[in-house]
Chains A and B, each alone.
Chain A
Amino acid sequence: MSFLNSEDVPAFTLAGFTLNVEERATLFASLAIKKDQEKLPSIHLWGKILGINQDYLLAQSVSATSLFERKYYYTLDNLNWYQLPEVTPEERRQADSIQGRFFGDPSYEHTVPKNHEDPESSETKMREEKRLAATISSINYDVEIVPRGAYYRDLNRVVRKNPSFQGTPHLLAERCSRLPKEDFGQTHCYMHFRDGFEVTTRTLTERINKFDDAIDIFESIENDEPKGVWSVQAEVGGTVAIVRSLQWPGHTFIHSASPLRFTSFYFGTGQKNHNIGFML
């Protein structure tokens, strides 16, 4: 559920973008074929990166053993999906310094500017395919979020989907009428969906009044810097929350309690907003 299914696509009309009829018709069929060919446990649409000449549609496959192990696929013709290469942290850093648009040509070579911290480095080239892979994994690491309580950690410290999750409280109908309006925009209900969160004194003191060992297993987005990097909006009379990342404009998370849906989609140019400090 946290990963996009075909029935979630229309929900994103609320966020201002959608997939057109042809894409909806073709993508899910070709994804099913890909899943079968590669014997993948699952494959989900991830987003669309708008290129100059062509647009990439992207999908991810989540490994059966860990929620955070992903494989990424792209397509340019809505039919043939190709796997994106693995990227090293260094490559990810390099990709981060490329700021131009994607071209829609996997073999296009982007120029990586010199690393200012390392005087010996020189300009290098990076294939767009690599950059694409790095961008997706950066976006997933930086801004993939889930509502608090949607996942829990069992006794074996395995993160699992919480079957009894009913939606973030402020979306639940009976509560939403009593909360003051400001409460809709609460960021503490959403957490980074990424590995490596450890309980520290800092996190404990932050959540001292409402810490639950089982579900507080991720970093909350509340403390992300700079303040206001997330735009949380209540739509449809407060029954749907739309969380937009301003750090990666185009990344949209949508959450509604009935039907229970929390999922995100990326629809944008694949460029990180490096200027956010000036913009809030």
Chain B
Amino acid sequence: MAEVESSDASGPEMFGQDQTIESLEGQQAQAEMGDMGGYDTAAMPDEMPSQPVAEAEEDTSIHVGRFSRVGPPPPKKEMSHMPEDTEFVLARSFLSSKVGGRSFSLYEHLTSIVGHVLETRSQSALENFETLSADLKRSRFQSDVPGVPTTLREVVIPGPDVELAKKQAVLFKRLSAEEAAEKASSDLGEVPDIMDLAHLWEWAGVSIDWMPLSAAASVLTRTVYQVSFGPEETFLLLLSIKKLIEDKPLKSVRLWGKIFGTHGNYIIVEAELKDGATDEDEATANAVPEDPHAAQEAAEAAAAQAKAAAAGGGSAEDEEGSRRKPMNPEEDETGLPKPKSKTINPLSREVHVGVNRYNYYVCPYAGADWVRLPDVIPEKLQAARRIHKYFTGNLSTRIVSYPAFDGTEAQYLRAQIARITAATVLSPNGYYMVDNDDGESEESNAGASIIVNPEFEGFANDQLLNLANWVHHMPYILPQGRVTWENPAARGENADGGDDEDRDDDEGSESNGAEAVEPETGPTLLSVISADEDHGDIPSWTARLCSPLSPSKYSPVMLRSTRWPGAAVVSYNDKFANIYVGFGLKDLGSPVQRFVPPRLPEIQREYATGEGAEGNAELLLEQLDPTIEQEKAFEDEKKAKEAEGKEGGEDAEDAGDEEAEED
């Protein structure tokens, strides 16, 4: 025991040391042996050990004398000369050895038993000795598998709320003074004051899901599982949006709304890139939709890619188009066909040439990572108009539908967002004005650019009830799926998507096979919503005072779209806010609500040759199967042809046809 004390309270660790240290200890002890007598009685109690184990051992050494009356007396006299004997060192090293990879030695075990007995001062220590020993042993059980907790202790697996809290805690980090100064100097994008807007939305009966608060709950040491609702969650969302702005080169963002899925929801923000900034997410976001496609063909990946390259059709071109797009902002001037729509930002984008559309970011809950949605592809937008499906909440889900959508939910979501935005984003008449500097583009509705009217004074609340005082400030999406019309005939081979003539963006699709030569037109930008077509037998907008009891000056005004249930605009004097909270689906019509998928095409006819044979199964000629000899002969012939090198081109063509069919 004496050695343990003298080795400077690092006791427990020292047990594990090898022989050289042991002997060192011995020597040290030897040197201190002189005052052994006083040590035992007087010096010890004064010493305040820092480690509990050391304490236990200390106690042991103090009280050995007392216990000696019961057990065989530990011969003090012997001890005083023991260290001189190498036998003691040997015995001790034997006791403290950890044979067979044990993590605990017998010596340590005995020490802890004695320590425990002395700590508890149990009168029945002798009776319970075996149990005590077993218990202590068990409490030290450790599994061989790393990371596995001991089986005998209660294990707390952190719940999902902890995960959530950890994610959200990132948002709570404060900046140091220097960082803050740096931030302030760099021009950060504008964070919308959604705390304020939330107040407006509440008046309209809309809530943007004031998300999980368990993070706040744990932080504020409220009952962790207590659910409460309030501005805390809005605040989290605000922080989350702030982080998005800090991370990405965004000029401004708008909380667009929320779309419910069957398994999860999307919180959506609409963001505007800074002038001249590059969007590094763009490639990844737009590549996402191709991924599942590639995964499907993973087995034949290389071959498939080669095929696609050879085919040069469908998907490959879409992809190409969407990638090329940002490089080529003046595509309208050149009139060159691009199978790519642009969601033009009418605000100041046209003034500064550059990226001129909104990006959309989604996340499932405040604090989660924001994911950038891919850009709209006109064909996908057209397809989205033809289907009527719930979202699932998982962006990578492939949409299974008739008529086929052929894409992931990310694309479907983006298309629906574009449609909803174009149809339901409103501003008071006069808030925006057409920017006359851009004279040339005024003619086409998409080309016109609008700026905030500095002289706009706002309407009184009761005037806002009048639908004539509201205008669309997002460009109308043409049936083509684009904002600016482009001649599909000039587009060449891929006229497939272009000549679908949905005459009305909002009225679903009617496709006639005719070539679209006449440019599609739609309502111009800033057209008044009272001019919107009625939705069946009902008006397309309903306006209401949120609080009929308050003086109209204090009552916000709400407009709801009947065509897109869930879309609402709330305004309060000079403030207004657009929001969408819903399933992301268009109303199917009034008064009859029926989704009628297009009829299945007629069954293809049997292929037959000869006059009048088409479609007539009886005239089909039955062929004999080739014999093995014939097949072999054919193979040989083929090889011979290949050798001539003529076969290559044809093969590629075949491959191309196959690919086209698959699409």
Contact = CB atoms under 8 A, between A and B. Distances in A.
Contacts of A137: none
Interface of B: 157-165, 202-214, 223-227, 229-230, 258, 260-265, 365, 387-390, 393, 401, 536-539, 542, 544, 546-550, 560, 562, 565, 581-583, 585, 588, 590-595, 597
B237 to A, nearest CB: 12
A178 B578 CA distance: 41
Given A50-B560, A237-B159, A279 B205 contact: no
B205 A18 contact: yes
Given A16-B581, A100-B591, A237 B207 contact: no
B390 A280 contact: yes
Contact of A101 (B262, B401, B549, B590): B590
Given A100-B538, A237-B214, A21 B227 contact: no
B207 A269 contact: no
B388 A278 contact: yes
Given A16-B208, A17-B207, A11 B160 contact: no
Given A20-B203, A278-B597, 16 more contacts: A13-B207, A16-B260, A20-B202, A99-B593, A99-B594, A100-B536, A100-B593, A231-B262, A234-B160, A237-B163, A238-B159, A239-B161, A240-B227, A244-B260, A275-B594, A278-B387
A234 B263 CA distance: 9
B160 A275 contact: no
Contact of B225 (A19, A21, A23, A257): A257
Given A22-B549, A233-B263, A237-B214, A16 B597 contact: no
A173 interface: yes
A40 interface: no
Given A100-B590, A246-B390, A269-B565, A10 B229 contact: yes
A52 B540 CA distance: 9
Contact of A279 (B203, B390, B538): B390
Contacts of A77: 548
A125 interface: no
Contact of B539 (A15, A52, A269): A52
A26 to B, nearest CB: 7
Q: From A100, A228, A259, name the one whose CB has the most chain B CB atoms within 10 angstroms.
A: A100
B262 A48 contact: no
Contacts of A122: none
Contact of A238 (B160, B537, B546): B160
B547 A235 contact: no
Contact of B159 (A100, A101, A177, A274): A177
* Chain B interface, >50% SS class: loop
A19 B203 CA distance: 8
A258 interface: yes
Q: Which 3 A-B pairs have the closest CB atoms?
A: A100-B591, A237-B161, A177-B159
A26 B549 contact: yes
20 contacts: A11-B227, A14-B207, A14-B210, A16-B209, A16-B581, A23-B205, A26-B549, A50-B560, A53-B542, A100-B593, A101-B538, A233-B393, A236-B227, A237-B161, A238-B160, A239-B161, A246-B262, A274-B593, A274-B594, A275-B588
Nearest to A51: B542
Nearest to B214: A237
A111 interface: yes
A267 interface: yes
A20 B546 contact: yes
B215 to A, nearest CB: 8
Contacts of A249: 583
A61 interface: no
Contacts of B205: 17-20, 23, 48, 267
Contacts of A233: 263-265, 393
A18 B258 CA distance: 14
Contact of A13 (B160, B163, B210, B583): B210
B258 A237 contact: no
B562 A52 contact: yes
A51 to B, nearest CB: 8
Q: From A15, A173, A238, A259, name the one whose CB has the most chain B CB atoms within 10 angstroms.
A: A238
B264 A99 contact: no
A264 to B, nearest CB: 16
Contact of B227 (A101, A239, A279): A239
A42 B390 CA distance: 37
A18 B265 CA distance: 17
A239 B225 contact: yes
Contacts of B161: 236-239
Contact of A11 (B224, B229, B260, B365): B229
Contacts of A280: 262, 389-390
Interface string A221-241: 000000010010111111110
B225 A173 contact: yes
B445 to A, nearest CB: 29
